[in-house]
Chain A
Amino acid sequence: MKTDVLRIGGRELQSRFFLGTGLFPNPYVQQEAIRASGAEVLTFAIRRINLEAPEDDSILQYLEPGAFHFLPNTSGARTADEAVRIARLARASNLSDWVKVEISANERTLLPDPVETLRATEILVKEGFTVLPYTSDDPILCKRLEEAGAAAVMPGAAPIGTGLGLLNPYNLGLIVEEANVPVIVDAGLGSAADALQAMELGAAGVLMNNPVAKAKDPARMAQAMRLAIEAGRLSYLAGRVPKKRYASASSAPEGHLLP
């Protein structure tokens, strides 16, 4: 089989599963889940990290040094300026030059602020960051983010932590059709079926935290998600059959295979 790698910002990834490191009940379960996920890219909130000693941070300390690529996020930022400020802090402490722009204006929905997200993306791209903005599932906005230099766009399936699944598969499908950069579906997924649906729509990857970390058995759910993402990817590449209104027999009438 042809190798199917994901390329973002000059980096080749075998895994299409991006995992958040927060919310796990304890370090043991977190380690088991990360292992089971096969994820290469891990994300975390910059504001929660001890930037002066990241290797001793309360979350990052458990990760094997060099084994993962970090995608620090600007969660909590409410303006582009705030997001830019903390992205610079993360880069200054050598965590990563990747950044997930996450700018929320509403404390109840945490939905991304499109105007500020675009502005932060423009600024950070100019400063040489590999920028992956978390954005609304708006096809035009995703296009604008791509034009601003985003290395990938990350439309949300539903508000963060809701587990509602893909609220607007039509829009996500359009975003994938139009995009010239990888589309990573981020936020709002609940089950393996949601991850599979996102991948079948042609997403290049999936980012999640809550559905794994808050599962009764996080390591097992991480494995389920990993398999769903792989299955969804293969299904997308293989191409599904068209839907038909009526039955067509599975066994050919004249037995062409075994004459």
Chain B
Amino acid sequence: MNETVVVLGGGVIGLSCAFELRQRGYRVKLLEKERCGGQASGAAAGMLAPYSENGESPDAFFRFCRESLQIFPEWQRTVRYVSGLPFEYTESGSLYAVYHEADRLALETRLGWQRRNGSSGRIVEGEELFRLEPRLSRNVRAALYTPEESHVYAPHYVRSLERACRLIGVDIQDRLEEAAVVRWEREIAVEARDGRAFGGDRLLVCTGAWAQELADALGIPIPIQPIRGQICAYEAEDRPVRHMVFNSQGYLVGKGNGTLVCGASEDVAGFDTSVTERGIERLRAWNKRLFPFLEGRTPFHRWAGLRPATQDGLPLIGPHGRVVFAAGHYRNGILLSPATAKLAADWIENGEAPADYEAFLPSRFEGERSLSAR
């Protein structure tokens, strides 16, 4: 295989796709405007939680998330082995906590379809709940316990991915400041700020919240908006939180480095990645209700990232001529990195994908253009 794929974007999706494509024998050039993992990927809390993140129904997106969770253990072993760089991967299980008797109906409905879809979860309450999570507020009425969910330490996972890519021969060009697509219909040509041009046979767009910038150049609507997610972390050497704990407001997850991460406070702020007092106060307004020991504690670290949110909540994964998209993963980029890498590589290698995942085709937003042409 001598085809060259130019991958745009060095976040978790671009790196994972490059890693997969290189293993399948492609020559891969990865272009990054700043540095790899410098945006949403490095800011993520790294939760691999398809059951907690999808409360409604087992739709195509859920199935994609679940598939990714299933292949994650082997995928992360490969990344770890190839890179030689360890990162935290913890099979902690999760709790989705509720406060009202009226939440039970929704929990039971959710548990019903999730148990038919790979979860061995159950509703826990009272003594059992507080044995699982001793410092949880006694105001928590019940929780949906899902043993299958896990988490990674995202900044280290992305760093290992980058190293693994370099070691197997992915040509990573970073700090390009600009990566303008100048040709894509017959061959690929991308130009950096300093005038260097990068050519190839196929283009894989993995630029997350910035993907929309390519809409004009590629002649396709790309309805992806940045949603700012603000996160904070507490020092918690004594590991006071054992599981990933979710509620309707957000989540808390204890990391192996002795920090307790609390996220995420979402807002619409364009491409602004600054942290606001209000954003962090929002997290502090609910997290003490979940874990009373947080009352009065101050987070030692605060940060923000831009989540690439699509108009219908589904990612854009699939072809557009010589171009393939893998963007718009919103809250689930870390979780979806292995399944996306395989799906995008399948599109490039075979030109097809499972029918179920046609829901993610970028062409679904082209309706307006084709209608007005009639």
Is the pairing of A and B real? Answer: yes
Count residues on chain A whose CB falls below 8 Å from chain B CBs.
Answer: 35
Smallest CB separation, A104 vs chain B (Å): 6
Q: Cβ of B285 and Cβ of A48 under 8 Å apart?
A: no
The residue that B266 contacts in the complex, of A27, A29, A107, with Cβ under 8 A, is A27
With a CB–CB cut-off of 8 A, which chain A residues contact B285? Answer: 50, 52-53, 56
Q: Which of A74-92 contact B (CB under 8 A)?
A: 74-78, 82-83, 85-86
Interface residues of A in 84-116 (CB under 8 A from B): 85-86, 104, 107-108
A28 within 8 A of B: yes
B56 — which chain A residues lie within 8 A by C-beta? Answer: 23
Q: Are A29 and B286 in contact (CB under 8 A)?
A: no
Q: Tell me, rounded to whole Å, the shortest Cβ–Cβ distance linking B285 to chain A.
A: 4
Interface contact A82-B102, CB-CB below 8 Å: yes
Closest A residue to B267 using CB positions: A27
Decide if B227 touches A28 in the complex (CB within 8 Å).
Answer: yes
Picked from B103, B248, B330, the residue with its CB within 8 Å of the CB of A26 is B330
Most chain A CB neighbours (cut-off 10 Å) among B109, B267, B285? B285
Which listed residue, A29, A46, A61, A85, touches B309 by the CB 8 Å rule? A29
Number of B residues with CB within 8 Å of any CB on chain A: 36
Which of the residues A27, A78, A217 comes within 8 Å of B268, measured between beta carbons?
A27
Residue A57, interface by CB 8 Å: yes
Question: Which of B99, B250, B282, B311 interacts with A29 by CB under 8 Å?
Answer: B311
Complex Cα distance, B330 from A29, in Å, reads: 13
Chain B contacts with A in 90-141, Cβ cutoff 8 A: 98-106, 108-109, 112
**A61 and B282 contact, CB distance less than 8 A:** yes
Once the chains are docked, how many angstroms separate the CA of A46 from the CA of B100?
10
Judge whether A216 and B311 touch: CB under 8 Å: yes
- Judge whether A107 and B108 touch: CB under 8 Å: yes
8 Å CB contacts to A: which residues of B323-357?
330
B68 at the interface (CB under 8 A from A): no
Q: Which residues of B contact A83 (CB under 8 A)?
A: 102
Beta-carbon contact of B312 and A217 below 8 Å: yes
Q: Is B225 interfacial (CB-CB < 8 Å)?
A: yes
Is the beta-carbon distance between A26 and B102 smaller than 8 angstroms?
no
Q: State whether A25 and B282 are in contact (beta carbons under 8 Å apart), knowing that A31-B268, A76-B100 are contacts in the complex.
A: no
In the bound complex, CA of A217 to CA of B225 (Å): 13
Question: What CA separation (Å) do A85 and B100 show in the bound complex?
Answer: 10
Interface residue A218 (Cβ < 8 Å from any Cβ of B): yes
What residues of chain A lie closer than 8 Å to B330, measured between beta carbons? 25-26
In the complex, chain A residues whose CB is within 8 Å of the CB of B109? 107-108
| Closest partner residue, chain B, to A26 (CB atom) | B309
Q: Given A26-B227, A58-B250, A62-B267, decide whether A76 and B104 contact each other with a Cβ distance below 8 A.
A: yes
**A 17-61 to B, binary, CB cutoff 8 A, 1 in contact else 0:** 000000101111101000000000000001111101100111001
Q: Is B274 an interface residue (CB 8 A)?
A: no
| Interface flag for B310 (CB, 8 Å) | yes
Q: Choose from A26, A27, A48, A56 the contact partner of B281 (Cβ within 8 Å).
A: A56
Q: Does B364 have its Cβ within 8 Å of any Cβ on chain A? A: yes
Q: How far is the CA of A104 from the CA of B103 in the complex (A)?
A: 12
B102 touches A75 (CB 8 A): yes
Q: What is the CA–CA distance of A47 and B104 in the complex, to the nearest angstrom? A: 10
Hey, which chain A residues are within 8 Å of B268, CB to CB? 27-28, 31, 62
Question: From A59, which residue of chain B is reached at the shortest CB distance?
Answer: B248
B101 touches A82 (CB 8 A): yes
A25 to B329, CA, bound (A): 11
Q: Which of B104, B105, B225, B249 contacts A28 (CB 8 A)?
A: B225
7 A-B contact pairs sorted by A residue (CB < 8 Å): A25-B313, A26-B309, A26-B313, A47-B98, A56-B278, A58-B248, A104-B105
> B residues touching A (Cβ–Cβ < 8 Å)?
56, 98-106, 108-109, 112, 225, 227, 248-250, 266-268, 278, 281-282, 285-286, 289, 307, 309-313, 330, 364-365
User: Closest 9 CB pairs between A and B?
Assistant: A25-B313, A76-B102, A26-B309, A53-B285, A47-B100, A48-B248, A56-B282, A28-B225, A77-B102
By a beta-carbon cutoff of 8 Å, the part of chain A in contact with chain B is: 23, 25-29, 31, 46-50, 52-53, 56-58, 61-62, 74-78, 82-83, 85-86, 104, 107-108, 215-218
